[in-house]
């Protein structure tokens, strides 16, 4: 088994390679997880705190999030350049995001965040599992993923007053 020299003052002290790899993996996993978790404003968080109009990170669309029974949904309420895209009837659905298209579906509040729903990305035509949370500044962290949340991507939306 290969070993690397340790920084120990003891002569001949070696750390096995598989221990180094396991330690590196554990540290990188922890750092990645912590980077993906937004600071949340859990104190007194209302389940309806996400309802309203939000501007997406790219600043080219507004999403209206609303409650239907015990679940939360969101549809596109404004698009920059919508009139330019609307004329291409032969294009695929995901190439023409439309006002009124529901892209946030079926989220349930668990006391800290909204889970169990899906996020539709009109840019690529794919749906992803999702987690939605609010940070201490009132920004919406929308995380889409396939499989497990750590393998996803988070985008931050700003509330429109």
Count Cβ neighbours within 10 Å for each residue of 72-93 and write b for 16 or more, e otherwise: bbbbbbebeeeeeeeeeeeeee
Give the mean pLDDT of the chain: 79
pLDDT over 90 for what percent of the chain?
A: 55
- Per residue in 136-147, pLDDT (tens digit) is 999 999 999 998
- Per residue in 11-48, pLDDT (tens digit) is 555 556 555 455 545 544 544 444 444 444 455 689 99
The whole-model pTM stands at 0.67
Residue 33: the pLDDT is: 47
Residue 48: the pLDDT is: 96
């Amino acid at each position: 088994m290969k070993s690397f020299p340790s920084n120990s003052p003891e002569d001949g002290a070696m750390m096995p390679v598989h221990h180094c790899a396991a330690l590196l993996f554990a540290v990188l996993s922890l750092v990645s997880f912590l980077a993906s978790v937004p600071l949340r404003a859990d104190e007194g968080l209302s389940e309806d705190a996400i309802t309203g109009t939000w501007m997406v990170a790219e600043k080219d669309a507004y999403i209206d999030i609303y409650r239907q029974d015990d679940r939360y949904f969101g549809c596109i309420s404004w698009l920059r350049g919508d009139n330019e895209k609307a004329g291409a009837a032969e294009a695929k659905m995901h190439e023409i995001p439309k006002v009124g298209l529901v892209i946030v579906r079926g989220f349930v509040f668990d006391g800290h965040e909204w889970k169990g729903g899906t996020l539709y990305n009109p840019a690529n035509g794919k749906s992803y599992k999702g987690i939605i949370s609010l940070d201490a500044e009132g920004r919406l962290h929308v995380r889409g993923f396939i499989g497990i949340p750590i393998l996803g991507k988070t985008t931050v939306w700003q509330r429109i007053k």
